[in-house]
Structure formats: structure tokens, C-alpha cells
Structure 1
Amino acid sequence: MISVYEYILIFIHLDLGIVSGQNANSIGELISSPIVTLILTCIIFLGALYQLYSHRINIAGIISMICTLIFFIGYAIIDEISLISVLLFVIGALLVVIELFVVGAVLGILGFISIIASFVLVGDSILNMGIIIAVSLLVTTIEWVILVKGFNRKIPFFDKVILKDSTNKESGYTSHDDRSHLIGKLCTTYTALRPSGIILVDDQRIDAVSDGSFIQKDQEVRIIQVEGTRVVVREI
């Protein structure tokens, strides 16, 4: 059993580049121990979630990335990590990033599942790692509730890619040219209205309908109603 003092010496030697294979294995065993693994996974998930709800890269996101490297390197040292686990993590991370640019949640969900699976497959006991991941997700869920419900935090990236302005008439948006100013205006029929046809308004051709009666060509009419693109006229 290696004491805390000996672990400190190991990390010092690591910084100096003179760690022996035995010391490297000791570091790997320390990182892969249940308590340290739980602490690392909690920090990874908590930091990643906090970074997701932040406007810029912060210390939480940086620490999360560092802990992720330590986690995988530690298990790689003791040869308890597979290529599948690494690939699942990389693919999951890519899917989550792509999800930020794509409407929908399918890619994000698949990416999240891939990341969780990559952590569960690390180590020699899927059951133990599954329990650790479950505890980490529980703690992360509590953080999410605090951020969203307590501090009303939102994912900043979505503010840039999602249109939040109301596109109604009250907000100044219309899906067509506003012709309400034509009500009461006198014009002439360019074609016969049977009951629909074309009228001339200041030498501009506009589709129109009569208020019910048939109107011949070149007749003077008055615009009595405008509803969207529908212009209703009445013969004078």
C-alpha cells in the first residue's frame, strides 16, 4: 500500500520526467480506484454541463477536459481501456458538437449515450463503473436543476441559432406586402373580374376580386377591403 507522501513523490518525479514503470502503474492504480474514479467522473460531468450553460470557455470546462484526459490516461496505464471505449467517446463528443448546429435532439441524445457507454466500458467491471456513472449522473442532474430552475440559465449557443423574435403582425412582421393603405383608393380594372381578375393601381397590376358582382374590363372600382394578399373591390 503506497502512502500519500509516496504518491506526492511520484507526481513530482512525473513532472521531472523520471517516473519509472512501477510508479506509472501506481498512478494508474490510484486513478482507477473507485473513489478517485467517482471524483473524476463527477468533475467531468459537472464541469461539462456548467460549460455548456456558460457564454465562454471557463475554468469549469478546462478542469473537465483535464480530468477527462487523466481518467483515460490512468486506465490506459493499467491497460483497462479498449479502443471501442475511446472511439465511443470521440464519436459521442462529435455528435454533441454537431447537435449544436442541427435542429432536433436525435444526434445529441445519441452522442450522450455514446459518451456514457464509453465510460461504462472502461475498467474491468461494468457493474462497478455503471454504479459510478449513475451516481455522477445523479449529481449532474441536481446541478442541471439548480442552473435551470434556480438561476434560470439557458444554453447561450441556442440564443445565436434560434429565432426568438415573434413573427406576428404586432411585431412588424408580415408574410406579404402590406396593402392595407389601398383601402378606399380608386382604380380601374385591367381585366374583367369574374369575380377575380387584375386591377391597375398607380400603373401597378394587382390581383383582386369583386365583392360579388361581375365587373367588366376598364371599369372604375374602389378598393373596399384588404385581407392579406386578398384585395376586394366594388364597382362605382
Structure 2
Amino acid sequence: EVLTLTASEAMKHNYCEGTADNIEEVIALLGVEEYTIVDYKPTLLEKFMGLLVSPYLQGILIMVIVGGIYFELQTPGIGFPLAASIIAAIIYFAPLYFEGIAQNWEIILFVLGVLLILIEIFAIPGFGVAGVSGIVLTVLGLTLSMSAGDIVILEEGLEFNLEPFAKSLFVVMISMFLSITLSLLLSQRLVKTNLFSRIALNKEQNTKDGYISVSTEQNALIGSAGTAFTVLRPSGKVLINDEIYDAKALTGYIEEGDQIKVVRYDIAQLYVKKV
């Protein structure tokens, strides 16, 4: 049970030695005769560090991190969104680390999460364990780095304090949601403005200049049978007539070794189904 006492009740039952309304009364209760009162004033650096670790600014930094990664994936090679994301990540983690709030392993969780997401997008067809694990690790890294006192060391062992973790998780999730929503809206507006034409390829590629279209030889493979050379989730590779081709499952996933049939060829992409 929780026992709640007023100041007078605490004094009556010897839970406290007295009450005071100001510093002078505290000094009088302690019986100190010679003393010097020093008012502590935070330095500009301390005020700046306090600003950097505030939940409001951290939420904005998370939005920049997520938004930068999103725009870099949408328009690879530009560099500015990725640079903004990296700078925001440094500004996010550095003050937390120097203040002793973020630990090394929490930052490593975030880095591993981002790497897993990139591997899932660029190296592994579809979206599976690596992508989900990357998202979870990224969220955990951001959340645990922000929350102080989430793990308390006691004589009996480690104790997990849920309250600071829950508050940090709320800030992270809201920031990521707002970042993704704003990124989607902003990307649609950029496409319709002249600004997008400055960073996107907007030039005709004529055959007289040496440009050629994509070969349509694979169009002849429609109706051909083969086997799944890798797992198709839904993209992967198939083996047809002793040749390996990139393909996409028409519906669902296709396991490696399953028999397949080419049903469509569209925009330089083979579409297959399991037979």
C-alpha cells in the first residue's frame, strides 16, 4: 500500500525534521551560522545542450532524419536529403551521448536498423525479416537513446522503468508519422513544381543521338515454363531454358525451386505465376 502524509503529519510521526518556505528557513533549521549562498546560473553551453535534448527539438530532428532518408531513396544521387539526415542524426545523438543519456549500444541499434532497411531495399527482393527488424531496431535506438532512467541497476538486478520509455516512444512514433506524412505530401507537390525539373532528368533521348530502347526479346518468353531460381517476394530470379531472368510473382510469394510459367511481359519486367 502507498502511504501519503501531509507535512504536518510527517513531522508528527517523525518522518521529517521540519518544514521551510525558503532557503533562510532551511538554514535556520539546520543550525548553520556561517554560510554563503551561491546562485547557480547555467552557462550558454549548458542552455544550448538543454535545448538540444528537449523533446520538441528531438522530435523535429527525428522528422528530418526520416524525411531525409525517404527523399534520398526517392531521388538517389542527389545527396542533400541524405546529408540532412546524417547531420540531424549527429545533432540528435551527440548531446544525448555527452549528457550520459544515450549509451553506445543504443546508438548501435539505430545504425544497425538503418543498415538493415537499406539492405532490404537494395539487396533483398521484397520486404521481409530484414526490413521489419530494421524498422524495429531503428525505433528502439531512437527511443532508448532519448529516455533517461529506463534501466535502473539495483542490488537485486536490473529494473526496467516503463514510464520514460513510453514517453520517448510516443515522441518517436508521432515524429515518424508526421515525417512520413509530410514527406509524401511534399514529394507530390515537388513533382508538380518547376523545382523538381531542376533535379530530375528532363531530356529527350532520341535514337539519332545513339539511345536505344530496352530489348523486348523477353517478350517471346510469354508462356514459357521454368523454375524459381530464388524466392520471389514478389521479385526474384527465375530459370528458363538454362537462362536466369529477373521476374516478379503475379500474386503472392513463390518459393525457390517451384515450377513457374511466364504470363506477362510489361515495361521490361517478366511476370510469372506458380504452376
Match of 2:134 in 1: 111
Match of 2:91 in 1: 70
Residue 104 of structure 2 corresponds to residue 83 of structure 1: yes
SS of the residue corresponding to residue 102 of structure 2 reads coil
State the Cα distance separating 1:172 from its structure 2 match. Answer: 3.8
Match of 1:31 in 2: 52
Tell me how many residue pairs correspond in the alignment: 147
Structure 1: which 5+ residue stretches go unaligned?
8-22, 153-164, 177-236
State the Cα distance separating 1:72 from its structure 2 match. Answer: 0.7
Query: Could you tell me whether the CA contact under 8 Å between 1:93 and 1:111 is conserved in 2?
Result: yes
* Structure 1 CA distance for aligned equivalents of residues 135 and 107 of structure 2: 14
Change (3 A) 1:146 1:2: farther
Question: 1 or 2 for the larger relative contact order (CA 8 Å, sep ≥6)?
Answer: 1
SS of the residue corresponding to residue 136 of structure 1 reads helix
Measured against aligned partners, the alpha-carbon deviations of 1:11-63 in whole angstroms (never above 9, x if no partner) come to: xxxxxxxxxxxx3x544322111111111111111111111111313322211
Query: Could you tell me whether the CA contact under 8 Å between 1:47 and 1:60 is conserved in 2?
Result: yes
1:92 counterpart (92, 108, 113): 113
Change (3 A) 1:132 1:2: farther
Measured against aligned partners, the alpha-carbon deviations of 1:154-178 in whole angstroms (never above 9, x if no partner) come to: xxxxxxxxxxx89897x344687xx
* Structure 2 CA distance for aligned equivalents of residues 131 and 174 of structure 1: 50
Query: Could you tell me whether the CA contact under 8 Å between 1:49 and 1:140 is conserved in 2?
Result: no
Match of 2:173 in 1: 134
TM-score for both structures, normalised by structure 1: 0.52
Which runs of structure 2 are paired with 1:52-63 in the superposition (5 Å)?
52-63=73-84
1:41 counterpart (36, 55, 62): 62
State the Cα distance separating 1:2 from its structure 2 match. Answer: 7.9
TM-score for both structures, normalised by structure 2: 0.46
* Structure 2 CA distance for aligned equivalents of residues 132 and 166 of structure 1: 50
Measured against aligned partners, the alpha-carbon deviations of 1:107-143 in whole angstroms (never above 9, x if no partner) come to: 1221111101101111222122112112212212313
Letter in 2 for 1:35: Y
* Structure 2 CA distance for aligned equivalents of residues 26 and 103 of structure 1: 47
State the Cα distance separating 1:71 from its structure 2 match. Answer: 0.8
CA RMSD of aligned residues (A): 3.3
Query: Could you tell me whether the CA contact under 8 Å between 1:168 and 1:174 is conserved in 2?
Result: no
Change (3 A) 1:113 1:168: farther
Query: Could you tell me whether the CA contact under 8 Å between 1:28 and 1:77 is conserved in 2?
Result: no
* Structure 2 CA distance for aligned equivalents of residues 2 and 55 of structure 1: 47
Query: Could you tell me whether the CA contact under 8 Å between 1:96 and 1:111 is conserved in 2?
Result: yes
1:101 counterpart (109, 123, 127): 123
SS of the residue corresponding to residue 77 of structure 2 reads coil
